[in-house]
Structure 1
Amino acid sequence: MIDLCILGTTGGMPMVNKYLSATLININGRKILIDCGEGTQVAMREIGWGFKSIDLICITHSHGDHIIGLPGLLSTMGNSGRTEKVIIVGPKGIKEIVNGLNIINPYLPYELEVVELENNDLKFIIDKNNMFLCEDNDKCNLILSSLEVEHSAKCLSYSFYIKRRPRFSVEKASKNNVPKLLWSKLQNQEIINYNNKIYTPDLVLDNARKGIKISYVTDTRPISILPQFIKYSDLFICEGTYGSDEDIDKAIKNKHMTFRESATLAKKGECNELILTHFSPALSAPENFLNNAKEIFHNSIVAHDGLIKTLKFKD
């Protein structure tokens, strides 16, 4: 089961009743934060999910409304008892920016690893204690994909594919004469040499099951490659900076999207659900423009600060 919270929904500047755009994903207690604008810590305190278990921070780009809250958050994570490595990913140039922001945090009690991405994937193992980078596609249970998009600064969209472990098959294990004492390790994708014989996970596991895909797109025009990048997303979180179709010229000029453009991406990408977020500060009532999205992609909703969604694996 995966829980996701839209921490903030506004872009540009924080508002009295809205925090800057940020999203927190909770996968069995381990957390991924997407963007960290001013006020993100306060939004996190309101939902009560804690700070210590944030293992991965994904920054879309270097504009202040998406990153200026990072130094304070990293400090709070340390004060919360975090000692395990934290991984920050972002577009090219993010290392220099994070190092500059983090001058005020010279004594963090954990290692900080900053990874610059450029249209590539990272694989992770998520266990009950942390999240680790992994090279082995069979052992990893999270694949993070990135795509450079069209904005006034280098900006990435992200896709998260949470893999689902294949079912253990007693029938298959018995048929292949696998000793019972090896079942648990094989179920955990280990390869075992036992009594001079090699046992592999495929001897006890059924075929792979469908995982969950979450895609996150913000601060961009609807470039042609995006529908393929978000293809078959169970949940597509997308900027809707402008609600009105009449604001299309502003969207083009400022390299953002209207609700209708975001919904068109969701339709082309054959997504299951669209959540619109990152609203212009001038858009005080985004729900009034929801029909502009629904006319294109019916399963569209307007996010509000603190919106929580739960995604479950399908049998």
Structure 2
Amino acid sequence: MLDLCLLGTGGMMPLPNRWLTSLMLRCSGSNMLIDCGEGTQIAMKEKGWSPKPIDIICFTHFHADHISGLPGMLLSIGNAERTEPIHIIGPKGLRRVADGLRIVAPELPFEVIYHELEEPVQQLSFGPFVIDAFKVNHKVTCYGYRVSIRRLGKFDAARAQEQNIPIRYWNRLQHGETVTLDDGVIYTPDMVMGEARRGLSVTYCTDTRPTPAITEMAKDVDLFICEGMYGERDKLDNAKKNRHMMMYEAAEIGAAAKPREMWFTHYSPSEMRPDIYKDDIWKIHPVKFARDGWTKDLTFDDEDKD
């Protein structure tokens, strides 16, 4: 299972009833955070989730509304007595920017490991998370993220028996491990496992003009979270100038990608009631106008369950 919380939905600046955009995901005891603007700690406390288990922090880009909350977040994680390393992912220049922010948080009880993105598409894996970072089109280098939880095929006991594989090795093979015996005999997972089944996936994308990469990375995902910066169609010139996306443009991406569900986030401070555009947007694609604290539990398809 993958559960997530959209901690905040605001762009540019926090508002009294809207924190800056940040997404937290949890799976199999491992947690990851995407973006950490001012107020993210408060939003997390309001949700009742702890920062201590955060293993990975991903940044889309280095504008303040997406990264200025990092020093306080790291201090909170340290105060929660975490000692395990934390991986931080972001565009090239990440170490320089993060270390600059860490001047006010220089001593931490855990190691910080940086992963700088340089390719248009780059994949990293940590624990249960497979992270596909993809470059989008903003005024500075910016990435979107597709987070996937893969699922192995079903274990076929009959095949294992036909090949005389001892029962004591079945569990290891079922969990993807290759077994090598002292006499040189090798048992591999593909000998007893069926085809990989549909896993879980979430795509998160803000601060960009529409690009083909977004459509590709949002195809058939369980949840597509995309910026809906402006709803008024006469703000298109402003969106183009600042490299942001109109709600109707994001909805068109959703219509092409066909995710199982789509949420808007990263609203302009001027959009105090973004859902007033629902009738117009739903003519294109049924998008939900997310609010701070929205959560969702994603589970594997029922027909695929053992």
If the TM-score is normalised by the length of the shorter chain, which range does it land in? over 0.9
Aligned: 1:218 with 2:219? no
Aligned to 2:252, the other structure's residue is in SS state helix
CA distance in 2, matches of 1:156, 1:25: 18
- Please show how residues 179-198 of structure 1 align to structure 2 within 5 Å: 179-196=166-183, 197-198=185-186
2:281 is matched with 293
Is contact 1:33-1:54 (8 Å) kept?
yes
Structure 2: state its 5+ residue gaps. Answer: none
**Mapping of residues 120-199 of structure 1, within 5 Å:** 120-126=121-127, 141-196=128-183, 197-199=185-187
Q: Is the 8 A contact 1:262 1:293 kept in 2?
A: no
**CA–CA distance in 1 between the matches of 2:124 and 2:90?**
15
TM-score of the pair, normalised by structure 2: 0.95
Q: Secondary structure at the match of 1:16?
A: coil
Secondary structure of 2:10 counterpart: coil
| Matched residue, 1:20 | 20
User: Matches of 2:228 and 2:147 in 1, distance apart?
Assistant: 20
- Secondary structure of the equivalent of 2:212? coil
How far does the alpha carbon of each residue in 1:283-306 deviate from its partner, in whole angstroms, 9 at most, with x for none? 1101111223211112x1001000
1:108 aligned partner: 108
Tell whether the 8 Å contact from 1:161 to 1:213 is kept in structure 2 after alignment: yes
1:176 is displaced (CA, Å) by 1.6
| Sequence identity percentage | 41
Q: How many residues are treated as equivalent by the alignment?
A: 300
Cα shift readout 1:262-288 (whole Å, capped 9, x = no counterpart): 010111112221100000001110111
| 1:302 aligned onto 2:292 | no
Kept in 2, the 8 Å contact 1:3–1:311? The answer is yes
**Aligned partner of residue 211 in structure 2, secondary structure:** coil
Question: 1:82-117, CA deviations, whole angstroms, 9 ceiling, x for partnerless residues?
Answer: 111100101111111001001122211111011111
TM-score of the superposition, structure 1-length normalised?
0.92
The aligned counterpart of 1:5 is 5
Partner of 1:49: 49
Structure 2 residue identity aligned to 1:227: T
- CA–CA distance in structure 2, aligned partners of residues 258 and 292 of structure 1: 12
DSSP-derived class of the 1:158 partner: strand
Matching of residue 265 in structure 1 with residue 265 in structure 2 = no
Q: Name the CA distance, whole Å, in 2 between partners of 1:158 and 1:49.
A: 22
Compute the RMSD of aligned alpha carbons: 1.3
Cross-structure match for 2:84: 84
Distance (whole Å) between structure 2 residues aligned to residue 225 and residue 38 of structure 1: 28
2:195 alignment partner AA: N
Q: Report the AA paired with residue 236 of structure 1.
A: F
Amino acid aligned to 1:153? V
Other structure's SS at 2:198 match: strand
Tell me if the contact between 1:244 and 1:292 (Cα under 8 Å) persists in the aligned partners.
no
Partner in structure 2 of residue 95 of structure 1:
95
Contact preservation (8 Å) 2:135, 2:213: no
Which residue pairs with 1:202 in the alignment? Answer: 190
Query: Matches of 1:69 and 1:41 in 2, distance apart?
Result: 8
| Contact 2:129–2:148 (8 Å) recurs in 1 | yes
- What is the identity, as a one-letter code, of the residue corresponding to 2:188? T
User: Which secondary structure state, in structure 2, belongs to the residue aligned with residue 225 of structure 1?
Assistant: helix
Deviates more, 1:233-242 or 1:287-296: 287-296
Moved runs in structure 1, 4+ residues, more than 4 A? none
C-alpha distance in 1 between matches for 2:46 and 2:217: 32
Distance 2:126 2:134 in 1: 21
